């Protein structure tokens, strides 16, 4: 190591045939620097939710990779994502976490920008610049593309990147599970107020691969299962529906997105949950019935942890959260966790869920606490010269994924492994790192949009 | 009551309350969690809001709200008891091996006593805390902030009926919060 | 040199005198302490500015006159 590389990621560092991945990709400074260029400057990243900025002039701080960004709604109502850095000398033009404003004014030399990003105020423009500065060229840096998908705001710095729906591909339905109402109505989820932000001393890929669908680490959560924080008042963390479903690892191979997915049997109703809280139980029973009416067979899909490449985590069931793993150097990650409820849910339901969310997730969450301990010391113990010589193994289920998986009439696209009986596979991690290696080696989106090559080849036949 | 009697009553109450808070810290630092739980009223609200950077004059938006918003903690005794139970499993890896923790409690101020200072059944008390956590080998956290407690007399003993924890951080600088404030 | 003025809390309608001798009336205040939106009432240097709305830099505000 020692020099930045643009080749040799696959199969060198990421050997999918043997399922071995070098520790270097987690701990190496040069690889980390290269990731900023090749992944975070090109991929679609989650920035926030429209419910954070309902009114003209509303803004909220966010981040994209290492960059500080402002998510805001301009005076005309349009949503923007700007680099939070003055064009003149780089100072942050906003250091509040949220608010409402007509301008973003840099405290250093006083340059001021409208909520549409235009440079509107330059001190001594007439005197010092002799009225010659072309202000139209010096607005805030804006992302190349932004997408408001059912309220979730995603953005990319790369003008050549495919549209966000194309970037998602067959993964769209799993993001839908996150953002639609529990009753299946479109885009009915809203954020609870307050985004948890905390630092963990590990590489960002530790949480990314964990949320890709690590079902193997359940043992690390045994203590919380013993203490009992289940949403139904039971000791288990999960819901009864999981006991009657098929449990799958679903990977979208050319996109790098993957998730755990539960598929209910045909014609079976979701078991009643939250029996110890009648209003909540009734609400969810009502929603489940509505969903079956609205979506039919589609209501059989039940979400679970998943990951949109590279660093956006989903959890569409309970606790219903999204997270972003912001890279902060190879050895540190700033975790941001967002919590969702149905917009129209009764306040009793929102409060019940909120209680459950914060005792489960985040730095004080009785489940997530143990994850952070593992990521911290797994990372620390992988940094040494000797440790780096020994790759991690991701062998579980190599060669066993099926295309066009089907269960009682429900077709699930992608590479799928049914883990109901076998408990675990590492297909999701292999899918993540395959895509990671592609990003690290590909020169442009022409190479990265592999599905277009396949479609062109199919059309030519 | 003379002015001197009044001052003596205040002094006695302040001393009584401070001793209670120091004793509580002692239980936590000695990992006597069951005894600590016994100091909590059954209806305790244990709340630690998150803090935002907001504009001067918009201070009411600095803290996330109890009950409706996401907080670091916002819970009652049942959840606190489960946290203790989790630590006591001996397999809660975030606290196994257990952290070395010291609570420094200072600036204890009685804000209000009812019905009276001389016969206080409920006391609002503020203090500062500095919590030092060191675990495994070199991992160290320092958490500094304020506490606003409501203490209540139950059968002659103080019980903590409400605790608001104001941590002086924005992005949490610790990877997790596996300990009590 | 006049004493510095904190423009952050000046209300719309307030009249301000500027370094170049102009007088303007505040239309809105973004409360950033750096800029004001104001309409020119007098402008000896550039009479064409009178009636125009401009962003005024805090460093140019030399005097606060209360609204008439």
- Tens digits of per-residue pLDDT, B28-59? 999 999 999 999 999 999 999 999 999 999 99
Instruction: Identify the band that residue A229 occupies on the pLDDT scale cut at 50, 70 and 90.
Output: confident
Q: How do the domains of chain A map onto residue ranges? A: 46-145, 170-454
C-alpha distances (whole Å) from A365 to each of A281, A319, A358, A360 are 23, 11, 6, 4
Q: Are A230 and A360 in contact, with CB atoms under 8 Å apart?
A: no
Whole-number pLDDT of residue A46: 98
Whole-number pLDDT of residue C67: 63
Specify the CATH superfamily of domain A46-145: Rieske [2Fe-2S] iron-sulphur domain (2.102.10.10)
Residues 6+ apart with CB under 8 A from A323: A207, A211, A312, A313, A315, A335, A336, A337, A338
Whole-number pLDDT of residue A1: 41
Best B176, B179, B181 member to test A by mutation, with max A CBs in 10 Å, is B176
Phi-psi region of A379 (alpha: psi -120 to 50; beta: other; left: phi over 0): alpha
By percentage, how much of chain A surpasses pLDDT 70? 97
- DSSP-derived letter for residue B96 is S
Q: Do B174 and A228 touch (CB under 8 A)?
A: no
- DSSP-derived letter for residue B156 is T
> Going edge to edge, which strands form the sheet with A152-156?
A45-49, A152-156, A145-149
Q: What is the 3-state secondary structure (H, E, C) of chain A?
A: CCCCCCCCHHHHHEECCCCEECCHHHHCHHHHHHHHHHHHCCCCEEEEEHHHCCCCCEEEEEEECCEEEEEEECCCCCEEEEECCCCCCCCCCCCCCEEECCEEECCCCCCEEECCCCEEECCCCCCCCCCCCCHHHCCCCECCEEEEECCEEEEECCCCCCCHHHHHHHHHHHHHHHHCCCCCCCCCEEECCCCEEEEECCCCHHHHHHHCCCCHHHHHHHHHHHHCCCCCCCCCCCCHHHHCCEEEEEEECCCCEEEEEEECCCCCCCCCCCCCCHHHHHHHHHHHHHHHHHHHHHHHEEEEEEEECCCEEEECCCCCEEEEEEECCCCCEEEEEEEEEECCCCHHHHHHHHHHHHHHCCCCCCCHHHHHHHHHHHHHCCCCHHHHCCCEECCCCCCCCEEEEEECCEEEEEEEEECCCCCCCCHHHHHHHHHHHHHHHCCCHHHHCHHHHHHHHHHHC
For C13-47, what is each residue's pLDDT tens digit?
A: 999 999 999 999 999 999 999 999 999 999 999 99
Whole-number pLDDT of residue A207: 98
Q: Do B54 and A368 touch (CB under 8 A)?
A: no
Point out the residues of chain B with pLDDT beneath 50.
Answer: none
Best A369, A374, A381 member to test B by mutation, with max B CBs in 10 Å, is A369
Q: Do B73 and A364 touch (CB under 8 A)?
A: yes
Per 3-state DSSP, what percentage of chain C is helix, strand, and coil (rounded to 5)?
A: 10, 40, 50
Q: Are A153 and A50 in contact, with CB atoms under 8 Å apart?
A: yes
Domain that holds residue C52: 15-65
Q: Report the residue from B64, B86, B139 with minimal CB separation from A366.
A: B86
Cα separation, A143 vs A158, in Å, equals 8
Q: Do A370 and B52 touch (CB under 8 A)?
A: no
- Residues of C near A (Cβ–Cβ under 8 Å) read 28, 30, 32-35, 55, 57-59
CATH architecture observed for domain B3-167: Roll (3.10)
Q: Do A194 and B85 touch (CB under 8 A)?
A: no
Contacts of C35 in chain A (CB under 8 A): 103, 105, 110, 112, 121
Residues 6+ apart with CB under 8 A from B92: A223, A224, A369, A370, B86, B178
Residue A232 has pLDDT above 80, yes or no: no
- Count of other CB atoms within 10 angstroms of residue B121: 12
Whole-number pLDDT of residue A248: 98
Q: Report the residue from A199, A223, A376 with minimal CB separation from B171.
A: A199
- From A82, A83, A81, select the one nearest A146 (Cα to Cα): A81
Whole-number pLDDT of residue A242: 84
Phi-psi region of A329 (alpha: psi -120 to 50; beta: other; left: phi over 0): left
Whole-number pLDDT of residue A88: 98
Contacts of A340 in chain B (CB under 8 A): none
For A279-338, what is each residue's pLDDT tens digit?
A: 999 999 999 999 999 999 999 999 999 999 999 999 999 899 999 999 999 999 999 999
For A147-169, what is each residue's pLDDT tens digit?
A: 999 999 999 999 999 999 999 99
Cα separation, B132 vs B101, in Å, equals 6
Exposure class string for A389-409: b at 16+ Cβ within 10 A, else e: eebbebebbeeebeeebebee
The chains in contact with chain C, meaning 3 or more Cβ pairs closer than 8 Å, are A
Distance from CA of A98 to the nearest CA of B (A): 7
Q: In this predicted model, which residue has the larger pLDDT, A272 or A341?
A: A341
Q: Are A313 and A325 in contact, with CB atoms under 8 Å apart?
A: yes
Is residue C27 included in any domain, yes or no?
A: yes
Residue A236 has pLDDT above 70, yes or no: no
Q: In chain A, what is the greatest distance between 2 CA atoms, to the nearest angstrom?
A: 76
Cα separation, A428 vs A175, in Å, equals 16
pTM check: above 0.90:
yes
Residue A399 has pLDDT above 90, yes or no: yes
- Count of other CB atoms within 10 angstroms of residue B25: 19
- Measured between CA atoms, the residue of chain B closest to residue A221 is B92
Cα separation, A427 vs A258, in Å, equals 9
Q: What does pLDDT average to over chain A?
A: 94
Instruction: Identify the band that residue A231 occupies on the pLDDT scale cut at 50, 70 and 90.
Output: low
Instruction: Identify the band that residue A272 occupies on the pLDDT scale cut at 50, 70 and 90.
Output: confident
Distance from CA of C37 to the nearest CA of A (A): 10
Q: Does domain A170-454 have CATH number 3.90.380.10?
A: yes
Contacts of A192 in chain B (CB under 8 A): 68-70
- Residues of B near A (Cβ–Cβ under 8 Å) read 48, 50, 52-55, 58, 61, 64-65, 67-75, 79, 82-83, 85-86, 89, 91-95, 136, 139, 170-178
Distance from CA of A146 to the nearest CA of B (A): 26
Q: How do the domains of chain B map onto residue ranges? A: 3-167
**Number of domains observed in the structure of chain C:** 1
Contacts of B142 in chain A (CB under 8 A): none
Tokens of A112: 């001021």
Whole-number pLDDT of residue A189: 95
For A11-63, what is each residue's pLDDT tens digit?
A: 789 999 999 999 999 999 999 999 999 999 999 999 999 999 999 999 999 99
Tokens of A8: 């040799």
> Region A390-411: what's the mean pLDDT?
97
DSSP, collapsed to helix, strand or coil, labels residue B139 as strand
| A:C CB pairs within 8 Å | 33
Q: Are B141 and B109 in contact, with CB atoms under 8 Å apart?
A: no
Cα separation, A263 vs A304, in Å, equals 11
C-alpha distances (whole Å) from A176 to each of A165, A261, A303, A353, B44 are 12, 13, 10, 20, 39
Task: Give residues 423 to 452 of A whose Cβ lies within 8 Å of B.
Answer: none
Q: Do A373 and B176 touch (CB under 8 A)?
A: yes
């Amino acid at each position: 190591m020692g020099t930045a590389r643009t080749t040799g990621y696959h199969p060198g560092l990421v050997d999918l045939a043997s399922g071995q991945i070098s520790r270097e990709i987690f701990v190496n400074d040069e690889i980390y620097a290269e990731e900023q260029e090749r992944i975070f400057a090109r991929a679609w990243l989650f920035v926030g939710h429209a419910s954070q900025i309902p009114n003209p002039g509303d803004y909220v701080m966010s981040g994209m990779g290492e960059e500080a960004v402002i998510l805001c709604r301009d005076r005309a109502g349009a949503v923007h994502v700007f680099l939070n850095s003055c064009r003149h000398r780089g100072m942050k033009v906003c250091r509040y976490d949220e608010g409402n404003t007509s301008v973003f004014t840099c405290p250093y030399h006083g340059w001021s920008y409208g909520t549409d990003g235009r440079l509107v105020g330059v001190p001594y423009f007439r005197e010092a610049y002799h009225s010659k500065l072309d202000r139209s060229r010096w607005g805030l840096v804006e992302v190349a593309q932004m997408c408001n998908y059912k309220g979730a705001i995603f953005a990319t710095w790369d003008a050549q990147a495919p549209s966000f729906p194309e970037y998602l591909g067959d993964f769209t339905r799993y993001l839908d599970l996150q953002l639609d109402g529990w009753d299946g109505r479109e885009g009915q989820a809203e954020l609870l107020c307050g985004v948890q932000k905390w630092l963990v001393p590990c590489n960002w890929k530790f949480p990314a691969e964990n949320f890709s669908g690590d079902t193997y680490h359940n043992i690390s959560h045994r203590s919380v299962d013993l203490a009992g924080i289940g949403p139904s008042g039971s000791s288990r963390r999960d819901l009864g529906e999981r006991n009657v479903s098929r449990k799958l690892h679903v990977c979208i191979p050319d996109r790098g997105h993957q998730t755990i997915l539960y598929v209910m049997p045909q014609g079976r109703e979701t078991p009643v949950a939250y029996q110890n809280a009648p209003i909540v139980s009734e609400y969810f029973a009502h929603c489940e019935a509505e969903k079956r009416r609205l979506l039919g067979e589609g209501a059989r899909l039940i979400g679970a942890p998943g990951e949109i490449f590279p660093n956006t985590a989903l959890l569409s069931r309970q606790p219903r959260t999204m997270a972003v793993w912001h890279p902060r150097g190879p050895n540190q990650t700033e975790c941001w966790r967002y919590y969702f409820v149905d917009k129209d849910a009764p306040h009793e339901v929102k409060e019940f869920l909120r209680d459950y969310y914060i005792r489960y997730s985040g730095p004080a969450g009785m489940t997530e606490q143990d994850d952070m301990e593992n990521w911290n010391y797994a990372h620390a113990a992988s940094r040494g010269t000797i440790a780096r010589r020994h790759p991690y193994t991701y062998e579980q289920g190599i060669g066993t994924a099926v295309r066009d998986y089907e269960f009682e009439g429900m077709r699930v696209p992608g590479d799928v492994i049914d883990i109901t009986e076998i408990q675990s596979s590492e297909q999701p991690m292999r899918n993540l790192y395959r895509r990671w290696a592609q990003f690290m080696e590909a020169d442009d989106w022409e190479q990265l949009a592999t599905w277009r090559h396949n479609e062109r080849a199919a059309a030519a036949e | 009551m003379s002015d001197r009697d009044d001052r003596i009553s205040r002094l006695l109450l302040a001393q009584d309350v401070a001793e209670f808070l120091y004793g509580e810290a002692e239980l936590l630092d000695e990992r006597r969690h069951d005894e600590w739980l016994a100091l909590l009223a059954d209806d305790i609200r244990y709340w630690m809001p998150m803090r935002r950077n907001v504009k001067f004059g918009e201070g009411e938006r600095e803290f996330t709200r109890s009950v409706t918003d996401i907080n670091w903690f916002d819970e009652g005794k049942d959840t606190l008891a489960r946290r203790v139970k989790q630590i006591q499993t001996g397999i809660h890896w975030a606290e196994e091996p257990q952290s070395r923790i010291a609570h420094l409690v200072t600036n204890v101020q009685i804000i209000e006593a009812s019905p009276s200072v001389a016969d206080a059944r409920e006391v609002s008390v503020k203090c500062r805390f500095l919590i030092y956590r060191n675990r495994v080998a070199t991992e160290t956290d320092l958490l500094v902030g304020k506490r606003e407690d409501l203490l209540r007399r139950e059968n002659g003993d103080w019980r903590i009926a409400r605790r608001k924890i104001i941590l002086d951080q924005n992005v949490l600088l610790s990877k997790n919060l596996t300990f009590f404030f | 040199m006049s004493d510095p003025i904190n423009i952050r809390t000046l209300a719309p309608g307030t009249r301000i005198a500027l370094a170049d001798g102009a007088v303007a009336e505040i239309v809105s205040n973004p409360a950033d302490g750096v800029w004001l939106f104001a309409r020119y009432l007098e402008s000896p240097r550039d009479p064409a500015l009178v009636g125009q709305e401009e962003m005024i830099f805090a460093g140019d505000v030399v005097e606060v006159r209360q609204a008439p």
